[in-house]
């Protein structure tokens, strides 16, 4: 993409850049899209802030190429953190960056029990957080078993539970009141806990 940047607009651009100590990132403090990319209005059209920085301070962007953030911060406009790469290389670089993450964007850990693994239409692997999918689908966030204070029916575990060995060899906490209800249903007795 060949575009002449008016040098008179550079001070206006730099006024909207904040320095983050330690990281080396120069963060765009102007408008940002919901995905984190900075946006500015230049020559009667909207433009990504990091692309503007690359065009202004480095040079033109060849057709079919994109600007990759080596730092992983989408609102960074530091040209030392920007690299012009082909779209195919960008997908590989982006995938490797996301593959190094240990938590999802909502802070849930990527563990074997909390991760779905998929492949997209091009055969590239990606993953999704099970807890985020549960929340999105309207379920309550899961509380770890050891931190639960009540059973699913609302009975308090403090004096009403026992540890039970399951058939698969695992152990779990069981609610005594729920076990009595189930036992009486099997026997046809009247439920006194209604």
Whole-prediction pTM: 0.50
Query: What pLDDT, on the 0 to 100 scale, is given for residue 67?
Result: 92
Closest CA to 77 of 40, 43, 131, 104: 40
Over residues 65-77, the pLDDT tens digits come to 999 888 888 899 9
Kindly list the domain boundaries of the chain, sorted by start residue. Answer: 1-87, 101-142, 145-187
DSSP SS3 for 45: strand
- Could you read off the pLDDT of 129-178 as tens digits, one per residue? 888 888 888 877 667 666 777 777 777 877 777 777 777 777 777 788 88
Phi and psi torsions of 161, nearest 5°: -140, 160
Tokens found for residue 193: 């806990």
Q: What angle do CA 155, 156, 161 make, to 5 degrees?
A: 95
Looking at domain 1-87, its CATH architecture is Alpha-Beta Complex (3.90)
pLDDT for 193: 54
The yes-or-no verdict on residue 100 having pLDDT over 70 is no
């Amino acid at each position: 993409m060949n575009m002449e940047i008016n040098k008179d607009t550079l001070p206006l651009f730099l006024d909207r850049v904040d320095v983050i100590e330690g990281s080396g990132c120069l963060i765009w403090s102007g408008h940002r899209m919901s995905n984190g990319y900075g946006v500015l209005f230049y020559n009667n059209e909207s433009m990504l802030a990091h692309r503007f920085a690359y065009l202004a301070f480095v040079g033109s962007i060849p057709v079919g190429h994109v600007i990759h953030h080596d730092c992983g911060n989408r609102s960074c406009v530091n040209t030392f953190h920007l690299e012009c790469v082909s779209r195919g290389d960008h997908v590989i670089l982006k995938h490797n960056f996301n593959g190094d993450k240990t938590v999802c964007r909502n802070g849930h850990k990527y563990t074997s029990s909390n991760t779905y693994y998929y492949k997209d239409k091009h055969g590239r692997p990606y993953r999704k957080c099970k807890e985020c999918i549960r929340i999105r689908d309207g379920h309550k966030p899961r509380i770890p078993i050891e931190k639960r204070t009540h059973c699913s029916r609302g009975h308090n575990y403090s004096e009403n539970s026992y540890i039970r060995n399951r058939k698969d060899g695992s152990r779990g906490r069981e609610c005594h009141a729920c076990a009595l209800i189930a036992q009486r249903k099997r026997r046809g007795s009247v439920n006194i806990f209604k």
